[in-house]
């Protein structure tokens, strides 16, 4: 397998150096650049051929949320893996909604970091245990608060397939390529299934897919 080409984004130089030193120990990864804020990250994503961006969330100039939104919008082939010390519900759900396909706490050991990088590079999602627990707790609370309407189970096979791919973190372009259809067709299916399921954003979509056993973490 080719080396996974990475950009490390964190406003603390000592943290960046530590992450890069850890990644140098893995034969699977190659750090092509470092950035101290979201603005620098966008410039480097534009210049470098990257596979994965390790993105801090709270930074000056441009934070990780805005940088993640722009990268996922303009460079859908690049996967964003959030790496932050703020592993609370608010930060986790915000960065997932921004388009990140993974969320890892900085306190994890190096082997877990490489596992997360490997997972998102393959096209999977990767969540730290506490974030996965938040999702589980929330969809259980949602289920206890109200019963799912019968109409929510009336998805077509294609809608169910697209729902699964979206929940797993694939972009519209990647889904279109996989299904051999146009991105506009995928967008249409996404719009209809979100309306049918009464879902407002990606976090709710992931929670619904987990509740129904369509995806697991």
Measured from the Cβ of residue 201, the count of other Cβ atoms closer than 10 Å reads: 11
pLDDT at residue number 148: 46
Mean pLDDT of the region 54-60: 90
pLDDT at residue number 109: 59
pLDDT at residue number 87: 62
- Asked if 79 contacts 5 with a C-beta cutoff of 8 angstroms, the reply is no
- Asked if 113 contacts 104 with a C-beta cutoff of 8 angstroms, the reply is yes
d(CA 138, CA 154): 23
What's the first-to-final CA gap in the chain, in angstroms?
25
Question: Over 80: is that where the pLDDT of 62 sits?
Answer: yes
Largest Cα–Cα distance in the chain? 53
d(CA 152, CA 57): 34
In CATH terms, are 4-133 and 147-211 the same topology? no
The CATH code of domain 147-211 reads 1.10.10.10
Can you give the pTM of this predicted structure? 0.65
Question: Over 60: is that where the pLDDT of 217 sits?
Answer: no
d(CA 210, CA 135): 8
> What CATH fold (topology level) applies to the domain 4-133?
Rossmann fold (3.40.50)
Contacts of 133 (CB under 8 A, 6+ apart): none
Instruction: Kindly report, residue by residue over 156-209, the tens digit of the pLDDT.
Output: 888 888 888 888 888 888 899 999 999 889 888 888 888 888 887 777 787 788
pLDDT at residue number 135: 65
Lowest-pLDDT range of 33-37, 63-67, 157-161, 204-208: 204-208
Highest mean pLDDT among 7-16, 116-125, 184-193: 7-16
pLDDT at residue number 134: 65
d(CA 84, CA 210): 24
Percent of the chain with pLDDT over 90: 29
Q: Is the dihedral of CA 181, 185, 187, 192 positive or negative?
A: negative
Q: Taking the domains of the chain in order of start, what are their residue ranges? A: 4-133, 147-211
Question: Over 90: is that where the pLDDT of 113 sits?
Answer: no
């Amino acid at each position: 397998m080719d080396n996974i080409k990475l950009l490390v984004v964190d406003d603390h130089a000592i943290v960046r150096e530590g992450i890069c030193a850890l990644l140098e120990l893995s034969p699977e990864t190659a750090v092509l650049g470092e950035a101290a804020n979201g603005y620098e990250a966008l410039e480097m994503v534009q210049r470098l051929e990257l596979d994965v961006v390790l993105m801090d969330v709270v930074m000056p100039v441009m934070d990780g949320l805005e940088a993640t939104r722009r990268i996922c919008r303009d460079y859908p082939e690049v996967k964003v893996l959030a790496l932050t010390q703020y592993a609370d519900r608010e930060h986790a759900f915000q960065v997932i909604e921004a388009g990140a396909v993974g969320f890892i706490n900085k306190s994890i050991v190096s082997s877990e970091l490489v596992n997360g990088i490997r997972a998102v590079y393959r096209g999977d999602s990767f969540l730290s245990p506490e974030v996965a627990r938040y999702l589980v707790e929330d969809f259980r609370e949602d289920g206890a608060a109200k019963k799912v309407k019968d109409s929510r189970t009336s998805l077509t096979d294609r809608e169910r397939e697209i729902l699964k791919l979206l929940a797993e973190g694939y972009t519209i372009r990647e889904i279109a390529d996989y299904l051999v259809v146009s991105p506009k067709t995928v967008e249409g299916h996404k719009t209809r299934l979100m309306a049918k399921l009464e879902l407002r954003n990606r976090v709710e979509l992931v929670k619904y897919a987990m509740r129904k056993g369509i995806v697991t973490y």
